Amino acid sequence: MAVGRKTGGRVKGTPNKVTASLKDMILQALDQQGGADYLYRQADENPAAFMTLVGKVLPMQITGDVDNPVHVITEIKLTPVSPE
């Protein structure tokens, strides 16, 4: 037995069949509900759930290349609001 080496199972990068089937079912349901139009409605009607979805589908890390590095600009803006 090779200690520390993988000798069986799936090849790295091979998608799990259950995960692929579940993803297909979710996409099919989204299509049946109206696709992008449904997502637009959810953004208005359920913004918290919609933003959770957005957070799950965006890449977790953003990197630039050597010639075009990513620059992050953060701005905090205070806007006075009348108590009325």
Q: Which residue has the tokens 């998608």?
A: 15
- Give the pLDDT of residue 16: 77
Tokens of 57: 């589908």
For residues 62 and 7, give the distance between their C-alpha atoms in angstroms, rounded to a whole number: 34
Q: What are the tens digits of pLDDT across the range 16-72?
A: 778 888 889 999 999 999 999 999 999 999 999 999 998 888 876 666 677 877 777
Sequence ranges of the domains in the chain: 13-84
Residues 6+ apart with CB under 8 A from 16: none
pLDDT for 6: 67
CA pair distance 69, 23, nearest whole angstrom:
33
